[in-house]
Structure 1
């Protein structure tokens, strides 16, 4: 322990009384402890202290200076003093007063030698001294070890000549500025010097060396080794970089590649990511297991998903992404999967593994590229193993360390969660897309009203497949219904709701409801679905809670009649269709707007427009014309420009529209239905007004027979006469005039009988002795289909009969 008597120290309380007195204090002033303790400290001071100076003392944390003290024998003592203001735990405070002893009885070390020894033997930093020519004159032992040169070997050389590296040139330039300005500078240097296997980081302090007159005589250099802090910071940077770069998409392959890209070249020379076979489409497995388990020899089959190397083309790789290969039981990869823990082989060589299994070129690659250190880390997420990431070094001379393994585990753990999210998303999206595809039309039915083509594009964003749909529904009287709709939300739930709504639309269309009434019934259905979902929202289903928050949809329903060429439309919050006239003009149809489905309480209105044959009608969902980067107005204008030249085939036109209009960052599904209207030849339409007289039935049969002869379809006369006879008879007996008979010849023959009554007939089985009730049963048996549709003036009963001729009119 150092000699405490070489320092005079005393303790003075806040009242100015001496409470402690050391042996050094006795040697300084001659008073013993018994003579001083308990006396006022002011008695020991040989000068007057102003009241102002005393008043400042309580606020000072420390005081230093020279004081005149009174020795016991009466002479004055000039003493250098340092006083610390101390605060006790109980709130009391006092002053610790210190003064070094420099009397003749105190041993004094050789100051110059002490300074020299301190310079040379400093173990905390590298110290060097340069003259005004920036030639090294002195260097301590730390500097010798750092540069692997002795002072004698370095003396007389410039700093830039000690190591041939640009960083040393930069430091010398900073030293020149110190000589020029006389101001100290701080410099950070990162360089790999002789004897080191990795880059080192140094914090340099450059300062002018001045003589007693203040003249600059050289430059001093003090360098602190910050290598560990530097690499720790690099690891933190890498972790932060991994958090930003890994998981940018919901693609399994892309996420795996991002993991490999982050690792190389920051801390590995070659990195691979291998997943268990079909991991994107199958359930993951527990640690230590594979999709089908290890083989009988204990090896594992893995599929290469991603890899990265410091060498062009990943020259050391023996597999390519997509390849499946086996790994022997004692390989780092298999060991990692078997134990479920990361494996570090700091020293790895060709003899470190069994190369009998797997690719035959793997051992050759290890030898050829001198792979000497390996880490294998399992890709584990939510307690399940998805695969393994392997990191290798062959160009860096240093082996992987435990710190590198911890870093690899942290990065791989983050990547595993992202890969698992991508895997789950991929599986759910494929399920939703399969459901969506199954629920959407796979083709359009043949009908004489329009020529049509369609496209459906699911979105690729995080939200997944949406609830967009379209349909083309043949109706009675050669008419056709065109439908597009969009369900709020994404995923399997939106697809399922879309399927229910599409089925409901087809059911309502089958009973020939007008567009406004059909949307009213569809609106009621959506409201009931929302109410049912709210009732079940207490269940743990996340989508139920989401749907309960507001189930909604939009829909546009249009009916086109090729006989009258009238198109009747109604909208439930859906974008208006685009009409391209035969004259070439492109406009949005002015459809009466209606509320989205699910609001209730508001009516829907119909809009009627007459379309010449050859008119083009484009129905679409908002995903085509609206995105985060494009509002609907601009998107609609682009759609209009894309439809200016509709002369190409409708399939080609659909492709043109998608290429020109669909947003690149589409956040919603896109459904597009383009129809070119056709008109039924007036010569293939025959209409007769009939009186409400039973005798007219025979005349109706003759009219029909004559018309069929004119159309050259005599083979259908017998069946047609029976059907017309039954329908006209029913209208005369049970309905009200006026009665109208109409025949339409298309791919099939359509018989229609209209009357002014709103009552619809019902198909029933007549009992044995009933005189009636068999007419509609006969019609149903003889025709391809039959039904009733209502209008504002009554109803129409129709029946469709097969013709041998498949041609359209």
Structure 2
């Protein structure tokens, strides 16, 4: 029987089997052989089928040619690679991208193996070509995901994260990407699932395109737009699954009805394939990413859909982190604002302006604070303090100290006495915090407390480890006020000393925290010099001066909180106050009433005469009966009408309700019922009882 008919391999003229030729012909891998001149000699059926040609059409052509002079796109370097392999005599690989006919672009890896003769001479080169498209795309997806972990979510900012997703996806996946977030996400809130039949409101957070300016978009960045819950976008959002869609005439007709602008854009830019992927993290859906292709000819496939879902998932975690940070930061700032004065106290003693700037290294809140407190007798207290550390703990501690200062100021303590009481409070707080493992130390806080009297023009000031203030006189000279340093709050056992000095009218007192002058790499003395020079420079207003100081001394990225308080001193002229020295004689009460009545009539406050006479009678009588010389009566017309009676005794009066048959005990009760507020303050030689009533007509 003939060998060919028997099915057994035949033999060539040398007696060798042509088994190798049969294996090559039936091998599903494309194999071609080029001679020493890099011209095609033979190709197996798999190689011929790949280009759709017959062998006789290809013999003699150069590597990569499908016809004389017609080179496959992407195969231009194949001939040089073959020649190099033949010169070196070593096998090498060559990777290229080819698009044959109208098929999708493929990634091919060619193994170039020199063919040698019996004496080792190179006869030609065999080229085995493998389709590695899927492996290559898998590597690309892994690379994209690896880059996404580094590029997406670089900052705790919702918009920045959306921009990073859009830009990265257009580099590797789509021709246009839009990132839409649910409206509550921008405010740091947690969005709710849309109700059935409702419309979903999106905010266009970011978009990016391979075309300049993203002209295919019909929704500008920063604006809101809606989708119906039953639309493809709505369904994907509710289900939490990424989906892909082909754009055909049926879908275009639907867009014509739903959104003509989108339909027009789809037609104009020839969008042919879309994907939508929800941004969902920790069980919360935050928004939607939309991917379009119009320049890339291949439609999205299942692998693209998987990649889009992975990118959206990673971006969603970053968006949720940013959302949570936004919410926590807003909460912290609200706490900080609630602990700082929103408006200055109603007073005429000083004109004030202030600035507070949180650090940029943490949550943006800290322990610096300032305050302006109206005191009795038209006086005002100016406070600046600094709690060590940053964050919510420091801010909460600052709030406790600020409340304590206000409470102690209401008792009218002198600055050194107030700081002594505050020091004791800090020591107690520190002991309480030491019991709590999660607490933080309060010791090391600093404070400066000043009391200014616009009647006398005097200022009493003490500090606890705080920087000295600057006094700018009306002539433009600026100098630091020399004060005993005093220990920081919480040290204990060391005294605080107050300094009293006169403040010329229209002078400016500048109180600040150390963050304004202490910056790494900056000389403190030089910073203090810049502060004095800036404060002394003429400006239109205190607000302008505040801006100038911050511009001159503010670092680019402050690593400490900064508080600045400027106060321009005013004076109450002789027409706003009157005083009388009174003997300790009960008969002088009538004289005191006459003095008061005459002064009020001179001020045009006739309606206040009756009430003020009653108040003066009670206070002067108490001073004569329970106090002692020297007795002094003073009226002050400021934002309110203030009556003060001073005596030489330190005995504190007490408000009590008199019984039916008691002869006394009704004086202070009467004063309290006739006035808005009253109180007692103590001085070196006695006390002052004061009462304040509203000016008639206010």
Q: Which piece of structure 1 moves more, 679-688 or 247-256?
A: 679-688
Q: Does 1:613 align with 2:505?
A: yes
State the partner residue of 2:180: 274
Cα separation, 2, equivalents of 1:675 and 1:258: 47
5 Å matches for 1:724-763?
724-763=616-655
In 2, are the aligned partners of 1:531 and 1:548 still within 8 Å (CA)?
Answer: no
1:431 pairs with 331, 339, 353, which one?
331
Deviation at 1:413, TM superposition (A): 1.5
Cα separation, 2, equivalents of 1:175 and 1:634: 72
Q: Which piece of structure 1 moves more, 461-470 or 702-711?
A: 702-711
Deviation at 1:803, TM superposition (A): 4.5
Secondary structure at 1:643 match in 2: helix
Cα distance, 1:203–1:192 mapped onto 2, change above 3 Å:
closer
Q: Which piece of structure 1 moves more, 459-468 or 336-345?
A: 459-468
In 2, are the aligned partners of 1:184 and 1:205 still within 8 Å (CA)?
Answer: no
State the partner residue of 2:278: 378
CA deviation string 1:434-455 (max 9, x = no partner): 3443443332233222111234
Q: Does 1:311 align with 2:211?
A: yes
State the partner residue of 2:196: 294
Cα separation, 2, equivalents of 1:739 and 1:330: 86
Q: Does 1:341 align with 2:241?
A: yes
Gaps spanning 5+ residues in structure 2: where? Answer: 1-12
In 2, are the aligned partners of 1:753 and 1:798 still within 8 Å (CA)?
Answer: yes
Cα distance, 1:618–1:139 mapped onto 2, change above 3 Å:
farther
Cα distance, 1:413–1:551 mapped onto 2, change above 3 Å:
farther
Deviation at 1:509, TM superposition (A): 1.0
State the partner residue of 1:351: 250
State the partner residue of 1:194: 100
State the partner residue of 1:232: 138
Deviation at 1:551, TM superposition (A): 8.2
Secondary structure at 1:278 match in 2: helix
Deviation at 1:412, TM superposition (A): 1.5
5 Å matches for 1:697-716?
697-698=589-590, 700-701=592-593, 704=596
Deviation at 1:510, TM superposition (A): 0.9
Deviation at 1:118, TM superposition (A): 8.5
Cα separation, 2, equivalents of 1:271 and 1:191: 25
Secondary structure at 2:645 match in 1: strand
Cα RMSD for the two superposed structures:
4.4
In 2, are the aligned partners of 1:190 and 1:199 still within 8 Å (CA)?
Answer: no
State the partner residue of 1:509: 409
5 Å matches for 1:145-294?
152-153=57-58, 155-157=60-62, 163=71, 189=95, 191-195=97-101, 226-281=132-187, 284=190, 291-294=193-196
State the partner residue of 2:225: 324
Cα separation, 1, equivalents of 2:424 and 2:108: 75
Cα distance, 1:711–1:143 mapped onto 2, change above 3 Å:
same
In 2, are the aligned partners of 1:440 and 1:469 still within 8 Å (CA)?
Answer: yes
State the partner residue of 1:393: 293
Secondary structure at 1:261 match in 2: helix
5 Å matches for 1:49-64?
none
Cα distance, 1:252–1:623 mapped onto 2, change above 3 Å:
farther
Cα separation, 2, equivalents of 1:556 and 1:259: 50
State the partner residue of 2:421: 521
State the partner residue of 1:674: 566
In 2, are the aligned partners of 1:327 and 1:357 still within 8 Å (CA)?
Answer: no
Cα distance, 1:150–1:564 mapped onto 2, change above 3 Å:
farther
State the partner residue of 1:136: 39
Cα distance, 1:227–1:550 mapped onto 2, change above 3 Å:
farther
In 2, are the aligned partners of 1:208 and 1:217 still within 8 Å (CA)?
Answer: yes
State the partner residue of 2:659: 767
Cα distance, 1:699–1:324 mapped onto 2, change above 3 Å:
same
CA deviation string 1:129-171 (max 9, x = no partner): 4756xx5355745766677777754735477976476x76666
Aligned length, in residue pairs: 679
CA deviation string 1:670-691 (max 9, x = no partner): 5432211123335655455544
Deviation at 1:480, TM superposition (A): 0.8
Cα distance, 1:495–1:206 mapped onto 2, change above 3 Å:
same
Deviation at 1:481, TM superposition (A): 0.9
In 1, are the aligned partners of 2:236 and 2:277 still within 8 Å (CA)?
Answer: yes
State the partner residue of 1:442: 342
In 2, are the aligned partners of 1:468 and 1:486 still within 8 Å (CA)?
Answer: yes
In 2, are the aligned partners of 1:377 and 1:409 still within 8 Å (CA)?
Answer: yes
In 1, are the aligned partners of 2:40 and 2:58 still within 8 Å (CA)?
Answer: no
State the partner residue of 2:6: none
Cα separation, 1, equivalents of 2:625 and 2:39: 126
5 Å matches for 1:503-582?
503-529=403-429, 545=438, 547-548=439-440, 553-582=445-474
Cα separation, 2, equivalents of 1:201 and 1:595: 75
Cα distance, 1:635–1:243 mapped onto 2, change above 3 Å:
farther
Deviation at 1:293, TM superposition (A): 1.1
2:371 pairs with 468, 471, 479, which one?
471
State the partner residue of 1:799: 691
In 1, are the aligned partners of 2:443 and 2:490 still within 8 Å (CA)?
Answer: yes
Deviation at 1:595, TM superposition (A): 4.9
Cα distance, 1:392–1:529 mapped onto 2, change above 3 Å:
farther
Cα separation, 2, equivalents of 1:581 and 1:126: 95
State the partner residue of 2:539: 647
Cα separation, 2, equivalents of 1:350 and 1:466: 60
Cα separation, 2, equivalents of 1:374 and 1:399: 8
Cα separation, 1, equivalents of 2:42 and 2:465: 83
